[in-house]
Structure 1
Amino acid sequence: MLKKLLIISAIIFSAGTGIGSVSAYRETGSIAVSLEEGVKGTSVKDVEFELIQVGNIVDGVYEYTEDFSDEKTDLNKIETSDELGKLAVKLDSYADKNDIKGDFLKTDSKGYLKFSDLEVGIYLLRVSNYAKYEYVEATLITVPTYNEDVQNSMNFDITVIPKHTPFKVSVSKQDITDHKELEGAHLQITDEKGNIVDEWVSGKEPHMIQNLFCNHTYTLTETIAPKNYKVAQSINFKVEESGKIQKVVMYDELLPVKVKTGDNTNIGIYAVAGLVTAVLLVMFAFKKKRGN
């Protein structure tokens, strides 16, 4: 089972690793991270990663460290990379819930960092501060990993190129009555400093934004409403740490309809006529009084 987990880790990272292969067993190893460039506007610099040891190798099998001793999933029964990925998500949540901390390092201007002098075992690698980078899922890495290309060879120095995806926010402009997409609204997104990040006119489909940053707060503002609609109040939203699409909906209300009636004109005419009649009566009475 130990060998199987080593092989699974090797498969996960082999596509993007530059690994130093050694045939002799070592007591320590290293895990390096090399970030790929993201979408326009993102940066690989100053992304902070946390590395937590979750398991040791004892008598040829994996055992959880004391911090993770309450976790029930058997490390030695992991059969596939999918199972390893699900366990990484589970242990990531476990670490948060139990306030378990590891070692922290930030990437340099080229998106590179390296955790050195690591004991053999299994480690949880996760992002603790995205800075201006994209979403990266937590992952489990074994030190060493098994090198299938060389018989009885282990890889102790591992370079990981994490899979990444932009933080995606879908903005939908809808009629508050029927919740259908509303065309013709002029919208913009601004950051915490008031800088315009994106602006567009709403159409038949929600607008997708992919250049926002995790844990940053943004404001959605309607500058011009569609014809016959009120301008909606601005909405503040925070970008969540997730690889899934985050949805933001802004609703518009119709303006009140002014009801016209045919009686209004007649009432005005009668009012003027009545006023003129009253004035004439007063003048007539005044002249009659003077004549007497």
Structure 2
Amino acid sequence: PHGEIHVQKRDRDTLEDLSGVTFQLTAKEDIYSLDGRNTLLYKKDEAVSMDISENGYYVTNELGEIHISGLPLGKYELKEVQELEGYVKNNKVYDIDLSYDHTDKIIYSKELDILNKKTATEISKVDATNEKELEGAKLSLRDEEGNVVEEWTSTKDVHIIRGLVSGKKYILHEDLAPLGYATASDVTFTVNEDGSVTKVKMKDEITKVDISKVDATTGKEIEGAKLTLKDKETGEVVESWTSGKEPHRIEGLTVSKTYVLHEDLAPAGYNVASDVEFTISDTGEVQKVVMKDEAKPVVVKTGDDSNISFYVAMGMFALGLIVCFYAKRKYGEKNDK
């Protein structure tokens, strides 16, 4: 009598046959011949090679199968020693008992249907503040050599990639951030080797601009200015507000776009400032924009206006009396003649 082992290797999710997976067969105990001579054939833990196998290694064929026949009866161990790239390593050791049971059976067989799962990597593109998934980011995944593995656009759901190589490093790159957000730095990660899901998170900072309306001389914030921010290209009003004691913050302006800050009405005592143009930089840091107002010149008074008017009036009255006096005097002299 002799033993046979049949292995079928498949993908756990698709049931696709997996070729090229390497297993090793070893003796779990000392195995002796049953021909009456009791010859030691294999020592415990010794590799068992049949046919063209060397050092007990067997590789699944194009149908995902391994056939081992002609084995002496006894107990064996079979383990996977080289998985396919992208699959989780299978560390299970399979005990195979082909021991003689004192029957007239000629063939002792063992069949194994072994399923392997691909690695799973969850990639999240989130808002740095609330950590909610962000839509519209164009992302790409590259290996260490710079080869593009996959490209996609983020949605409200986590993006799952299956089949990345365990223990290998990958680089997550943001090719284009969603509108109103700064481009995130690359994220480098290594795929888990223990079969657990690899979780990767890339955070995007929303753009932030602090707009200050200040006194041109003192540099202090001025209250009461009515301001408007417009998109330079379209002329569309982004926001209108009245300045206060603190800078006015606007979030979510588009990177690389130019905006125009316009003063609709200056505070009392100030001249209206010229428009200020600025372009949003690709950064999550707070960007600062300053509009300066010049104070109107102060008119210095040299006296009381009411007194000046009084003296002018009195002078005019006196001049009138003088004119009347001379006119009357000339009229009298004419009559005497």
TM bucket (normalised to shorter chain) is 0.5 to 0.7
CA deviation profile, 1:175-232 (whole Å, cap 9, x unmatched): 1111111111112222232222222221111111112121121111111111101111
1:247 maps to what in 2? Answer: 288
1:147 aligns with 2:213: no
Instruction: Give the TM-score taking structure 2 as reference length.
Output: 0.48
Give ranges in structure 1 of 5+ residues lacking alignment. Answer: 1-19, 57-64, 66-100
Greater strand fraction, Structure 1 or Structure 2? 2
Give the match's secondary structure for 1:147. coil
Equivalent pair of 1:185/1:225 in contact (CA under 8 Å): yes
Q: CA 1:168–1:161 in structure 2 vs 1: closer, same or farther (change >3 Å)?
A: same
Whole-Å separation in 2 of the counterparts to 1:190 and 1:272? 56
Whole-Å separation in 2 of the counterparts to 1:273 and 1:106? 91
**1:42-191 equivalence runs, <5 A:** 44-53=134-143, 55-56=144-145, 105=151, 107=153, 110=156, 122-142=169-189, 145-147=190-192, 150=194, 153=195, 160-191=200-231
Deviation at 1:141, TM superposition (A): 2.5
Equivalent pair of 1:122/1:140 in contact (CA under 8 Å): no
Whole-Å separation in 1 of the counterparts to 2:294 and 2:164? 60
Deviation at 1:122, TM superposition (A): 3.9
Whole-Å separation in 2 of the counterparts to 1:235 and 1:161? 38
In the alignment, residue 169 of structure 1 is paired with which amino acid? V
Higher Cα radius of gyration:
2
Report the number of matched residues.
Answer: 217
Whole-Å separation in 1 of the counterparts to 2:210 and 2:155? 30
Cα RMSD, aligned residues only = 4.6
Equivalent pair of 2:125/2:154 in contact (CA under 8 Å): no
Give the match's secondary structure for 2:299. coil
1:35 maps to what in 2? Answer: 125
Question: Could you say which structure has the greater relative contact order, defined with CA pairs below 8 angstroms and 6 or more residues apart?
Answer: 1
Q: CA 1:249–1:31 in structure 2 vs 1: closer, same or farther (change >3 Å)?
A: farther
What percent identity do the matched residue pairs reach?
33
CA deviation profile, 1:107-132 (whole Å, cap 9, x unmatched): 16547767888788544433332241
CA deviation profile, 1:31-57 (whole Å, cap 9, x unmatched): 7744346889xx94443235454x34x
Give ranges in structure 2 of 5+ residues lacking alignment. Answer: 1-85, 92-115
- For 1:259, which of 292, 300, 316 is the aligned residue? 300
1:225 aligns with 2:271: no
Equivalent pair of 2:164/2:191 in contact (CA under 8 Å): no
Greater helix fraction, Structure 1 or Structure 2? 1
Whole-Å separation in 1 of the counterparts to 2:224 and 2:87? 60
1:72 maps to what in 2? Answer: none
In the alignment, residue 270 of structure 2 is paired with which amino acid? Y
Q: CA 1:105–1:271 in structure 2 vs 1: closer, same or farther (change >3 Å)?
A: farther
